Structure 1
Amino acid sequence: MQTSTVELVLNADLNEDKEHVLWYKSKKFLIGVCVVATACVATGISLAVISANNTAHETHRAEVRASMSTPVAGTSWTLEAWGYKDEVKDDNYMVVVDMFDTSKSTIEKYQDEGHFVICYISAGTLESWRPDANTFPDSVLGLAMEDWAGEKWFDISKIFELEELMEPRFQMARDKGCQGIENDNVDCFINKCVSGMDKVDLTGYQLNYNKWLADTAHKYGMISSLKNAGDLVYQLVDWFDMVIVEECANYNECGLYKPFTQQNKGIFSVEYKTSSTAAKCSEAKEEFIRRKWNSDSTWKDCDY
């Protein structure tokens, strides 16, 4: 059968249409590829810029922290973390804040203003309101703290389990820019903290745990402050960089902490009772202790 001229023309038109469609689809595909590629390149550039900015920021923060010296005996300070109200003054070099409750930006602000930032954690108890409280199983907990609702002692005989559970807190402190750690409640050994164990049983565990706390802070580039635990000062003064003490004047225990000032390490003390303030401040000055005292629920500094 012969093909007519009309059919040849129609077939030619159809073939041309198919080629046009294929070309159009190919063009759309190539345009799509280019758009996606451009977007990917732009995203990659944006991510690279963000990464570079973050790196530059962290480098700057590290330089700021490195430029600041470790607090020594006689250093002025502000206590925001606990107790009463206190004011961050320009001439108060050290500032103590709550590690969980204080933002990274606030810590950086204090450092930019020339303050050395110590971050408070309860290293010896579980506070039920903290965001990581559910990571601590009952097996590492001791007895409830007297007069402190929602708080239990750690069973410091479970030191290996506690080390694994506590290390993320040091990582968090490091990431926030804390320059040091105030380790609270590290005197379980003289309290009713673990059922069936007394001071003799617990002292060795306490020493080992406290040394681990200091070593771990140092591992993450921070200094470490002992809190109270006067009976262990001679064994721990070489591990810790300073000490924060509650009511040593009231209990006539300030002499227990003298090994710190003998190494030019700071003793920072607070007194909750306002009686005999002048005498207590005079005594603190003689012993190179930076003391605060309670005045109408506000921390006041002894004059130096």
Structure 2
Amino acid sequence: MSGRAVTCAALLTALTAVALTGCSGGAGRPDDGHGTVSPSRAVWKPRPGLAWQWQLDGRVDGAADVPVYDIDGFENSAADVARLHRAGRKVICYINVGAWENFRPDRGAFPRAVLGEPNGWAGERWLDIRQLTVLRPIMERRFDMCRDKGFDAVEPDLVEGYGNDTGFRLTARDQLRYNRMIADIAHERGLSVGLKNDLPQIPQLVRDFDFAVNEECAQYDECGELSAFIAAGKAVFHVEYAEPRSAFCAESRRLGLSSMRKEPELGAWRSPC
């Protein structure tokens, strides 16, 4: 490698470190009646434009040279997170908060009364998110796991059950209440938290969440709805599965999204804008 290449690589590494350090914000939200809130670290605030890797299929491989990784919280260990941290990465913990999964080690913690209809994924059933007192301690333990493994943030999945056939009469108000509870649980633990999809409720929730994660907004001509996060200085981590990069990358760059093409299995392969 030439001396110029080494110098440029060192400069890029330094700039990435500065950008990530500058994304740290203040402490978590005030106590909401569920106990004293005293997060031991500042909540990370990812800014628009950060490149990312999203790998939920198996243990992370760490090969992508990007500053942000989003990986499965159960399938990856504290050592995996530490390995990514040593490489200068921030790490997001994927956790399903909207559906029961029969393959998770805590599957027995969910009472039968909160389990609804299958959601289309093998072994998963929608949760009755109205039952906050039942679900809150379960989600608190899951987020404790993310914190204790050293993750910087949480990606809570399936936070838009009110728009699906769950088997329960969920309303938009039920979803707002649940999603805000999820954000509070994360912030109480010093974790930042992303709003996954749920585009119709972005105006009400953009202040509660620190970034957004979106699937296929380009395919459905919805990416403009994520502009509220960008305007607030918050990253939007976005993927497309079917659209070619030529169909969405130019618009993604214009909007300030962190976009890439992935295969639906969410393995290590990625094709960024």
> TM-score, normalising length from structure 2?
0.79
**Structure-2 separation of matches of 1:78 and 1:165:** 27
**Structure-2 separation of matches of 1:248 and 1:185:** 16
| Structure having the larger proportion of residues in helix | 1
**Does residue 118 in structure 1 map to residue 89 in structure 2?**
no
**Structure-2 separation of matches of 1:256 and 1:86:** 33
Equivalent position amino acid for 2:229 in 1? F
| Structure 1 residue 67: Cα displacement | 9.3
**Structure-2 separation of matches of 1:255 and 1:192:** 26
| Partner in structure 1 of residue 258 of structure 2 | 290
| Partner in structure 2 of residue 179 of structure 1 | 152
**Structure-1 separation of matches of 2:159 and 2:116:** 13
Q: Summarize the alignment of residues 1-304 of structure 1 with structure 2, pairs less than 5 Å apart.
A: 70-82=45-57, 88-90=63-65, 92-146=66-120, 148-195=121-168, 197=169, 201-275=170-244, 277-294=245-262, 298-302=269-273
| Structure 1 residue 194: Cα displacement | 2.7
**Which secondary structure does the structure 2 equivalent of 1:79 belong to?**
strand
**Structure-2 separation of matches of 1:163 and 1:169:** 10
| Structure 1 residue 301: Cα displacement | 0.4
CA change 1:101–1:116 in 2 (3 A) is: same
**Structure-2 separation of matches of 1:155 and 1:184:** 15
| Structure 1 residue 202: Cα displacement | 1.6
Q: What is the root-mean-square deviation in Å for CA atoms of aligned residues?
A: 2.2
Identity %: 35
Kept in 1, the 8 Å contact 2:72–2:94? The answer is: yes
Unaligned runs of 5+ in 2: 1-39
| Partner in structure 2 of residue 55 of structure 1 | none
| Structure 1 residue 239: Cα displacement | 0.4
Per-residue CA deviation, residues 49-101 of structure 1 (Å, 9 max, x unaligned), is xxxxxxxxxxxxxxxx9699532110111111259x986433x1111110000
**Which secondary structure does the structure 2 equivalent of 1:240 belong to?**
coil
Equivalent position amino acid for 1:279 in 2? A
**Which secondary structure does the structure 1 equivalent of 2:237 belong to?**
strand
CA change 1:67–1:214 in 2 (3 A) is: closer
Equivalent position amino acid for 1:222 in 2? L
Kept in 2, the 8 Å contact 1:86–1:299? The answer is: no
CA change 1:79–1:217 in 2 (3 A) is: same
Equivalent position amino acid for 1:192 in 2? D
Per-residue CA deviation, residues 10-43 of structure 1 (Å, 9 max, x unaligned), is xxxxxxxxxxxxxxxxxxxxxxxxxxxxxxxxxx
| Structure 1 residue 157: Cα displacement | 1.5
| Structure 1 residue 217: Cα displacement | 0.4
CA change 1:185–1:295 in 2 (3 A) is: closer
Larger Rg: 1
| Partner in structure 2 of residue 28 of structure 1 | none
CA change 1:140–1:112 in 2 (3 A) is: same
CA change 1:240–1:88 in 2 (3 A) is: farther
> TM-score, normalising length from structure 1?
0.71
Number of residue pairs matched? 230
Between stretches 175-184 and 155-164, larger displacement belongs to 155-164
CA change 1:235–1:96 in 2 (3 A) is: same
CA change 1:294–1:78 in 2 (3 A) is: closer
| Structure 1 residue 274: Cα displacement | 3.5
CA change 1:296–1:269 in 2 (3 A) is: closer
Higher relative contact order (CA 8 A, sep 6+): 2
**Structure-1 separation of matches of 2:159 and 2:171:** 11
